[in-house]
Chain A
Amino acid sequence: MSAVSQDTAVNTGRITRAFIYLLLLLFALFYLLPLYVMVVNSLKPLSEVTGGNMMALPQTWTLEAWKSAWSTAQIGVSPTGLEPYFLNSILMVVPAVALSTVIGALNGYVLTKWRFRFDTIVFGLMLFSCFIPFQIVLIPMAMVLGKLGLAGTVPGLVLVHVVYGIGFTTLYYRNYYATFPTELVRAAQIDGAGFFRIFWRILLPISGPITVVSVIWQFTNIWNDFLFGVSFGGTSQPMTAALNNLVQSSTGVKEYNVHFAGAIIAALPTLFVYIVAGRYFVRGLMAGSVKG
């Protein structure tokens, strides 16, 4: 994140400034508090969580809760830990992100450089699909996945995420390619370059930044999705559904420390992406929302 701060015309007094700093710091604490609670308590033995103070640092530091969350905790009916579900999520996210991004790039290219009649309507229909409440497609999707034999499988989840992801990726690439001069494409066309050649040689080389945005957006969304995972995951549930199972299980002792460790494990991939590429993450959020 770049810290470019512009000159503001507003002059503020000393006391006002102290107040502003105080408030900003208090809110920083508010945002950090749950993360602190999760990390600290995931490193304690259970007795210290239930008998001790949630805000206190561990007296005995231990990775037991992490080990348990990863490999032995009871998820649903079997004590497998989160590991297999983490793998499900990876197996789901990688192809879904790759496919939806490639398709989005090609769509954006067609919609900006090879315009045709009614292309705005086509785009409008695809754009609206980003914003539907997915409850409206749950029932028919479940039926179609059942018919295709993909219910409860990772490929089924990949299909769902690609289908409902291409609206956003198309939007990103369309808005990005719209700023690229169409004259260059026409000139290449006159020189005899074909559709794919122009894409490969002219558009693709400049697509780096938007591809990062699109990949991060899709990765975060698909990794964090719960509704599709829990509805269509079956025996191949993703991480979010497994974490929910772990936390909500009503049998036995509530192992809070294991829950916290599991939550952090579920959050790590997206947090990691946010830390290394926060700027692009923010850009994606903005592009996907502020301007259509």
Chain B
Amino acid sequence: MASSAEADFRTRIQDWLPKIVLAPSFAVTLLFVYGFILFTVFLSFTGSKMLPNYTLVGWENYSKLWALENWHIAIVNIGIFASLYIVICTVLGLMLAIFLDQKIRGEGVLRPIYLYPMALSFIVTGTAWKWFLDPGIGLEHVMHLWGWESFSFTWIKDNNMAIYTIVLAAVWQTSGFVMAMFLAGLRGIDNEILKAAQIDGASSFQLYRRIVIPMLRPAFLSSFVILSHLAIKSYDLVIALTGGGPGRATEMPATFMYSYTFTRNQMGIGAASAVIMLMTIAAIMVPYLYAELKEKQ
């Protein structure tokens, strides 16, 4: 009897073991991700300043947030940055991928060169571009030394143009990765289809426009999702490249959230801005992930 009870106990443990193994990760995710999200949402409805404070103030933080000049700048900037960054990365990535796919000699050398910036930290990228774009020692200075005296490139110091330097550095960092995604998509297309279209008399341009590019739809979708997600989260690059300046000219939601929460002692408003960032990303990611998971089943 004892031994059969023991065997019974062992099978029961075996049955439960997988769940026991998974449970800590799931609990940690529930607490540190979803619990924390709920807590931040809660804070966004409280009068928290330097420290959390649990008196509810309703929508006050949200109405204050949307009335703030800095938040407006941040929203306009993320709009400019995200749209340019996504469009340029996609166009550049697609172009480089199509060109690299033309039986290019030296592809094995070029591809890693296009992609290596992805291995760097945004802080390193920001440092490199910060000094390269600095008029005093960087590109402008070099052009002057090379004899082009009237050359002027002061975007990084210019309130209206500084945001574009962030686009430039971000494109430099991630466009190679988008190229790699499109290249993988191109290599997955059946050559027979292309040959058949060519026999039917399609020109190369038509071939790409009518057949190849539409077949790359999944790659377009994934790169859009990844790039928009990277754009909304972008914090490091702004800090390293412009520090949000000149003035507040390159303020973004991520830098706004950090400064209001940790340096300006407006935790309630900081939390509200984080909630808006989350909602924006969720609006893009949730349908995408849902479709992906659904497809797998």
Consensus secondary structure, chain B interface: helix
In Å, the complex CA distance between A131 and B288 comes to 11
Q: Assess the B187–A166 pair: CB atoms within 8 A.
A: no
Decide yes or no whether A251 CB sits under 8 A from chain B: no
Decide yes or no whether B177 CB sits under 8 A from chain A: yes
Q: Assess the B285–A128 pair: CB atoms within 8 A.
A: yes
> Which residues of B lie under 8 Å from residue A273 when comparing CB positions?
119
- Closest-CB distance, A50 to chain B (whole angstroms): 6
Decide yes or no whether A194 CB sits under 8 A from chain B: yes
One of A28-36, A74-82, A203-211 contacting the partner: A28-36
Decide yes or no whether A148 CB sits under 8 A from chain B: no
- Interface bracket on A: 35 or more
Decide yes or no whether A260 CB sits under 8 A from chain B: yes
Decide yes or no whether A195 CB sits under 8 A from chain B: yes
> Which residues of A lie under 8 Å from residue B36 when comparing CB positions?
136-137, 140-141
Q: Assess the A244–B204 pair: CB atoms within 8 A.
A: no
Within 8 A of A (CB), among B100-158: 100-104, 107-108, 110-125, 127-132, 136-139, 141-142, 145-146
Q: Assess the A139–B128 pair: CB atoms within 8 A.
A: no
- Closest-CB distance, B107 to chain A (whole angstroms): 6
Q: Assess the B172–A34 pair: CB atoms within 8 A.
A: yes
Q: Assess the A31–B176 pair: CB atoms within 8 A.
A: yes
Contacts A7-B103, A110-B21 given: A12-B204 contact, CB under 8 Å?
yes
One of B37-45, B58-66, B83-91, B159-167 contacting the partner: B37-45
Decide yes or no whether B19 CB sits under 8 A from chain A: yes
> Which residues of B lie under 8 Å from residue A271 when comparing CB positions?
116, 119-120
Q: Assess the B39–A133 pair: CB atoms within 8 A.
A: no
- Closest-CB distance, B261 to chain A (whole angstroms): 6
Decide yes or no whether B52 CB sits under 8 A from chain A: yes
Q: Assess the A110–B18 pair: CB atoms within 8 A.
A: yes
Q: Assess the A226–B128 pair: CB atoms within 8 A.
A: no
Contacts A139-B271, A270-B120, A274-B119 given: A1-B236 contact, CB under 8 Å?
no
Contacts A54-B137, A131-B281, A141-B36 given: A8-B103 contact, CB under 8 Å?
yes
Decide yes or no whether A223 CB sits under 8 A from chain B: yes
Q: Assess the A290–B124 pair: CB atoms within 8 A.
A: no
> Which residues of B lie under 8 Å from residue A292 when comparing CB positions?
288-289, 292-293, 296
In Å, the complex CA distance between A106 and B19 comes to 11
In Å, the complex CA distance between A274 and B224 comes to 24
Decide yes or no whether B94 CB sits under 8 A from chain A: no
> Which residues of B lie under 8 Å from residue A1 when comparing CB positions?
108, 111-112
Q: Assess the B103–A5 pair: CB atoms within 8 A.
A: yes
> Which residues of B lie under 8 Å from residue A134 when comparing CB positions?
233
How many chain B residues touch A (CB < 8 A): the figure is 115
- Closest-CB distance, A128 to chain B (whole angstroms): 6
One of A57-65, A90-98, A118-126, A150-158 contacting the partner: A118-126
Decide yes or no whether A224 CB sits under 8 A from chain B: yes
> Which residues of B lie under 8 Å from residue A10 when comparing CB positions?
102, 194, 198, 204, 207-208
- Residues of B at the A interface (CB closer than 8 Å) are 14, 17-19, 21-22, 24-26, 28-30, 32-37, 39-40, 43, 52, 92, 96, 99-104, 107-108, 110-125, 127-132, 136-139, 141-142, 145-146, 172, 176-177, 180-181, 184, 187, 191, 194-195, 197-198, 204, 207-208, 218-219, 222, 225-226, 229, 232-233, 235-236, 239-240, 243, 253-254, 257-258, 261-262, 267, 270-271, 273-275, 277-278, 281-282, 285-286, 288-290, 292-293, 296-297
- Residues of A at the B interface (CB closer than 8 Å) are 1-3, 5-12, 17, 20-21, 23-24, 27-28, 30-35, 37-38, 41, 49-50, 53-55, 103, 106-107, 110-111, 114, 116, 120, 122-129, 131-141, 143-144, 163-164, 166-167, 170, 178, 194-196, 220, 223-227, 231, 240, 243-244, 247-248, 256, 259-260, 262-264, 266-267, 270-271, 273-274, 278, 281-282, 285-286, 289-292
A-B complex: 8 closest residue pairs judged by Cβ atoms: A3-B108, A292-B292, A114-B18, A224-B121, A9-B194, A274-B119, A34-B128, A226-B236
